[in-house]
Structures are given as structure tokens and as C-alpha cells.
Chain A
Amino acid sequence: MHAASDKEIDQLAGGYGAFQPDVAGGLRAVRLRIATNEIPAAPVRPLRPRRWYAVAAAAAVLLALGYFTLLAGNVAIANEDSAPLATVLPDGTEVLLQQGATLRYDRSFNRAERRVSLQGQAFFQVTPDLDRPFLVANAGTELRVTGTAFNLRIDGQEMEVEVSEGSVALQRGALSTPVNAGECGLAKVGKAFTVLPAPNLNRHAWRTGKLHFVDTPLSEVLQTIRNNFAVSVELSNDCDFPVAGTFRADNPAAVLTAIARLGGGQVTPLGGRTDAFQLSLDCQD
């Protein structure tokens, strides 16, 4: 038996701390973080109902912008204006409501849990709190969050969540499906949850002003625009072609015009409305 020398110790210790990290996964995470950080902030009207007296004083103004009701401690915040409406919930969670969206919660919010309901589309930055899960329930499905950022669209019984930071879970009965950053989860009544990759965070476009497509079929592009801006878009014929590129998405008309140009056609508002468009393309096949 000999005592080991320092040199032998050094040799034996050589692999200390070695492990094999996931390089491709790490690179995806870095790209996503960079893309998310580079998104310019959309202009918004702030609404911070933290102090009730301030809210009461602002009621007259709010009536013009959206509406905000307090009945027996129940709160409903609706945005009827075209600019997104920013609000802060009692737990510090920040919510940005798209035009036409209504967020509700009651007086039990932030006691044992943080339960809200939504109709329409909103972006949430949920304050982390492991003890009080943040829950959004709709048509038998529950979205469970502890602290993360995501875009949520609820249209009737359909719920679509696209996560930009952290992760959330879609739950129904005993079934629970995680949705991670850079993924989109879809819940429809009577169907299994679907989770799709969403590296471009296109569902956030109404807020971020940016759409990025990589060889995406036109039909899918149009659906993204419909869901994003709550507009109707008709296609005059059966044209379909892959769309690639980054589009400024400040308003639906601008994006549709850019896409119409790709297909050698034009876009016209239907009946003078601002939320319905017809796309006429010239495609030969």
C-alpha cells in the first residue's frame, strides 16, 4: 500500500464535473431568448387597478376606453379599444388584453389560488408563487401556471396557449400535458390536447408586431392572422404557396398587403369594415 501522490490525485480527479449537456437544445433556448428580448414593446395604455380609490376616480375615463366593473368583489376588465390594454392583478401578474378581450376574477383571487377567466386574447406575465397556482379554466380544461409568460386565446370552447418563458400545464381530469417555452398547446372539447413547436412565437404577434414564417402554407398563415387580430380573411380562390420571411405585424391590413404582394395579388377591406378582408391572388397551376 502506498500513499497516493498529489499528482495521482490530480489524474484521478480529472473528470470532476464532467457531463454531457444538450447542445442543440441549449442553442434553441438561447435563440428563443434572444428573439423574445428583441421584440419591441407595443404601445399600450396602462391600467393599474391596485388602489381602489384610484380606480373609482378613473371610472369615468375607463368607461370611454373599456369597461371595468366591481360587483360584490367580482372584477371584469374588458378592452373595447383598438390599442392593447395593460393591467396588473392584485398578485402583481401583468396582463395585456387585446381588443375585444374580457378578463374576470372574483374576491377569492390570490387567497388559496389565483383563478381567472378569459374570453378573447391576452398576454400574461404571471408572478411566480408556488403556493398559489394561477389557473385559467375554460370548457372543462384548466391551464395551470406557477410563474411564466404566455399568450392565451380563448374562443368559445377552444383554448390556445403559446408559451414564451417557463412552462404551463393543460389539465383535464387526470390528464396533464406540459407546454414549454417555444411551444403551443391547444385544447378543444372532446379532443386530446395537442402541443406543437412554436419557435417564432407568432401567436404573440398582435402584441409584438412581428410575424416570422418559415415555408408555412398560405392557409396556415391566414389562420394565424385571423386568430391574432380577430379578423375575418377570405381567399378569392384556392391559391396556396409557402410563405417565408419576417413581417411587421402592427395591423392586419399591413401584413395581408405584404402577403398579397408575394402572391401577385391585392387585398381589399370587405364592405368598408376594418376587421374583414378579401385576398385576391393570381396563381397559376
Chain B
Amino acid sequence: MGPSPIDTDQQLMLRLRGGDADALDELFRRHYVSLCQTANRLLRNEQESEDLIQDFFVSLWEKRENLPPDLSAVGPYLRRAARNRCLNFLRDRKRLPLDDGELPEHLPAAEPATSLEHRELEQRIQRAIDLLPERCRLVFVMSRFEEMSHKEIAASLDISPKTVENQMTRAYRFLREWLALVLLLTSMGAAPG
């Protein structure tokens, strides 16, 4: 019997452990999009993110017998495992930052918004996050989107909790200044100098 829509994630994981391929399909349908988005926040590459999450599901199937038998929080479990894969992926490709890096001194991409609509400001902020030095960006993403504790972030990036704190302060300060500049330029209707 295939999984029914009312099966909980926990039941699906149990079926997966027992070798039910339909359960894997259903877990994939339920979690693929959000896991890809988690990966994309860390990797900033949609294709790599999709490939990595597909690999993750292949290995869930192949290592199904080693899955924890009493998993209650399936969503967070999958998300944590996917995140670890992303960090290993970055580490293997030497893409984990080794230092704090520099914030851009000039703000070349700060152009006045055409309007102050919420949607546009959102896009601006999201682009500004990508301007953060990589360590600062990863710390911000892990803390704000992945809801990881400073201690967890410190361990996964191999830095001190103090550095995590400093990078968070730095990220917010930069984003606030960036936003203020965009709003200022917009209200003046001026081109950036």
C-alpha cells in the first residue's frame, strides 16, 4: 500500500527505513523545495543546490537502514542533514572563508529604488546580503534563516562564538546603512555619485 496524504513525516520515515520507495517519493515532494532553498541560501547557486539535495535523497534511500528509528522532528532532521552537506560541499571546494573579509568600501550598486514598495526593498536587501563578506554572510544566514545558535554556527565554521557575534553586528550595521542609503537616494530622486 502506498503512502496516503495523511501519513505523517514520521510514518514516512519509518516506511522508508523498511525499504518503501513510495515513502521516499512522498518525503521528496514534501521537502524538496524548502531544502533546495536552504541550500541556495548557503551556496548561492540554484543548480548546485538542486543537485546537492537530489544527492541527499539518493543517500537517504541508500542508507535508509541507518536512519534513526525514533525520529519525531523529521523536518528539522532533514534540514540539519542537508545543511551539513552544504557546509561539507563548500569545505571540499575550499569555498569556506578563512578570514572575516572586507566590506565593500564603496557602494557601487546603490541606486535609488524606482519606488519604495515593499517588494523592491526586499530585493534590494537580498542583493545587499550577497555583498557581505562570505564569512559574515554565512553567519547571518545561519543565524537568521537557519535559526542556529551562535555556538552551532561557531562549530560549523570553525570560528569562535565571539567572532559569530561580531559578524552578526557587522551584518546588521551594513544592511541598515545600505537600506538608509537606498532610501535617501530614492527620496532625493538622484543618481548615485
> Nearest CB to that of A10 among chain B residues?
B144
For residue B98, which residues in chain A have a CB less than 8 angstroms away from its CB? none
Whether A21 pairs with B122 at a CB distance below 8 angstroms is no
CB distance from B111 to the nearest CB of A (A): 17
Whether B129 pairs with A16 at a CB distance below 8 angstroms is yes
Whether B50 pairs with A26 at a CB distance below 8 angstroms is yes
* Chain A 18-38 interface residues, beta-carbon cutoff 8 Å to B: 18-23, 26-27, 29-31, 33-34, 37
Query: In this assembly, does A9 line the interface, its C-beta being within 8 Å of a C-beta of chain B?
Result: yes
B 170-193 binary contact with A (CB < 8 Å = 1; else 0): 001001100110011001000000
User: Once bound together, how far apart are the Cα atoms of A221 and B187, in whole Å?
Assistant: 71
For residue B53, which residues in chain A have a CB less than 8 angstroms away from its CB? 21, 26
User: Once bound together, how far apart are the Cα atoms of A9 and B46, in whole Å?
Assistant: 24
> Nearest CB to that of B40 among chain A residues?
A17
Whether B179 pairs with A9 at a CB distance below 8 angstroms is yes
Whether A16 pairs with B180 at a CB distance below 8 angstroms is no
* Chain B 20-41 interface residues, beta-carbon cutoff 8 Å to A: 21, 24-25, 28-29, 32-33, 36-38, 40-41
Q: A4-B179, A12-B122 are in contact. Are A19 and B37 (CB under 8 A)?
A: yes
For residue B179, which residues in chain A have a CB less than 8 angstroms away from its CB? 4, 9, 12
Stretch at the interface among B8-16, B55-63, B71-79, B159-167: B55-63
Query: In this assembly, does B141 line the interface, its C-beta being within 8 Å of a C-beta of chain A?
Result: yes
CB distance from B145 to the nearest CB of A (A): 7
Query: In this assembly, does A64 line the interface, its C-beta being within 8 Å of a C-beta of chain B?
Result: no
For residue B144, which residues in chain A have a CB less than 8 angstroms away from its CB? 10, 13
CB distance from A236 to the nearest CB of B (A): 38
User: Once bound together, how far apart are the Cα atoms of A6 and B33, in whole Å?
Assistant: 27
Query: In this assembly, does B125 line the interface, its C-beta being within 8 Å of a C-beta of chain A?
Result: yes
Whether A1 pairs with B183 at a CB distance below 8 angstroms is yes
Q: How large is the interface on B (under 10, 10 to 19, 20 to 34, 35 or more residues)?
A: 35 or more
Query: In this assembly, does A14 line the interface, its C-beta being within 8 Å of a C-beta of chain B?
Result: yes
Whether B28 pairs with A27 at a CB distance below 8 angstroms is yes
Q: A33-B58, A37-B58 are in contact. Are A6 and B36 (CB under 8 A)?
A: no
User: Once bound together, how far apart are the Cα atoms of A57 and B37, in whole Å?
Assistant: 57
CB distance from B87 to the nearest CB of A (A): 15
Whether A16 pairs with B126 at a CB distance below 8 angstroms is yes
A19 is contacted by which of B24, B46, B124, B129 (Cβ under 8 Å)?
B46
> Nearest CB to that of A19 among chain B residues?
B46
For residue B131, which residues in chain A have a CB less than 8 angstroms away from its CB? none
> Nearest CB to that of A8 among chain B residues?
B179
Whether B141 pairs with A16 at a CB distance below 8 angstroms is yes
User: Once bound together, how far apart are the Cα atoms of A33 and B28, in whole Å?
Assistant: 14
* Chain B 111-157 interface residues, beta-carbon cutoff 8 Å to A: 118, 121-122, 124-126, 129, 141, 144-145
For residue A17, which residues in chain B have a CB less than 8 angstroms away from its CB? 37-38, 40-41, 44, 141, 145
Query: In this assembly, does A3 line the interface, its C-beta being within 8 Å of a C-beta of chain B?
Result: yes
CB distance from B37 to the nearest CB of A (A): 5
* Chain A 71-121 interface residues, beta-carbon cutoff 8 Å to B: none
For residue B141, which residues in chain A have a CB less than 8 angstroms away from its CB? 16-17
Whether A21 pairs with B121 at a CB distance below 8 angstroms is no
For residue B180, which residues in chain A have a CB less than 8 angstroms away from its CB? 1, 3-4
Query: In this assembly, does A173 line the interface, its C-beta being within 8 Å of a C-beta of chain B?
Result: no
Whether B33 pairs with A20 at a CB distance below 8 angstroms is yes
For residue B36, which residues in chain A have a CB less than 8 angstroms away from its CB? 19, 21, 26
Q: A19-B36, A23-B29, A37-B62 are in contact. Are A1 and B187 (CB under 8 A)?
A: yes
* Residue positions of A touching B, CB distance < 8 A: 1, 3-4, 6, 9-10, 12-23, 26-27, 29-31, 33-34, 37
What 5 pairs across the A-B complex have the smallest Cβ distances? A17-B41, A12-B125, A21-B36, A17-B40, A16-B126
7 contacts across the A-B interface (CB closer than 8 A):
A4-B180, A16-B145, A17-B38, A21-B46, A26-B32, A27-B32, A33-B54
